[in-house]
Copies of this chain bind each other. A is one copy, B any other.
Amino acid sequence: MNVEMANLAEALKQILPESQVSINPTVREQHSKDESYHTPCLPDLVVFPETTEQVSEIIKLANTYQVPVVPFGLGSSLEGHVIPYDLGITIDFSLMNKILEVREQDFLVRVQPGVTRSQLNKELKKYGLFFTVDPGADATLGGMAATNASGTTSVRYGVMRDQVRDLETVLADGTIIHTGNLAEKSSSGYHLNGIFVGSEGTLGCFTELTLKVYGIPEHVMAARASFPTVNDAVQAVVSILQAGIPIARVELVDEPSMKQANLYSETDYLEKPTLFLEFHGNEAGLKQDVEFTKELVADLHCELIEFETDNAARNKLWEARHHLAYAYVHGFPGKKLMVTDVCLPISELAGAIRIARKTIDELGLDGGIVGHVGDGNFHVLLMLDTTDPLEVSKADQLNETIVLYALERGGTCTGEHGVGIGKMKYQEKEHGEALRVMEKIKQALDPQNILNPNKIVRIKEEG
User: From A285, which residue of chain B is reached at the shortest CB distance?
Assistant: B285
- Complex: how many Å from CA A283 to CA B187? 35
A376 touches B183 (CB 8 A): yes
- From A22-30, A300-308, A411-419, give the one contacting chain B: A411-419
Instruction: Among B182, B191, B346, B419, point to the contact of A189 (Cβ < 8 A).
Output: B419
Q: Which of A389-432 contact B (CB under 8 A)?
A: 406, 409-419, 423, 426-427, 430-432
User: From A204, which residue of chain B is reached at the shortest CB distance?
Assistant: B437
**Number of residues of chain A lying within 8 A (CB) of chain B:** 98
Q: For the complex formed by this chain, how many copies does it contain in all?
A: 2
A345 touches B188 (CB 8 A): no
A103 within 8 A of B: yes
- Complex: how many Å from CA A156 to CA B147? 26
Best-buried of A181, A433, A443 by chain B (most CB within 10 Å): A181
- Complex: how many Å from CA A343 to CA B150? 27
Tell me the A residues contacting B by CB distance below 8 Å.
103, 105-108, 147-150, 154, 159, 161-162, 171, 175-179, 181-195, 197-199, 203, 214-215, 217-218, 238, 241-244, 246, 281-289, 292, 343-347, 375-377, 406, 409-419, 423, 426-427, 430-438, 440-445, 456-457
| 28 contacts across the A-B interface (CB closer than 8 A) | A103-B345, A148-B191, A154-B185, A162-B162, A177-B431, A177-B432, A181-B411, A183-B344, A185-B375, A185-B377, A185-B416, A187-B415, A187-B417, A188-B430, A189-B457, A190-B198, A190-B203, A190-B437, A191-B194, A192-B195, A215-B242, A246-B281, A282-B292, A284-B284, A437-B445, A440-B444, A440-B445, A441-B444
Contacts A107-B241, A182-B410 aside, 19 further interface pairs with beta carbons under 8 A come to A105-B346, A106-B345, A148-B191, A175-B433, A176-B433, A181-B430, A183-B377, A183-B411, A187-B417, A188-B418, A188-B427, A189-B435, A190-B438, A191-B195, A191-B197, A217-B244, A281-B285, A282-B288, A441-B445
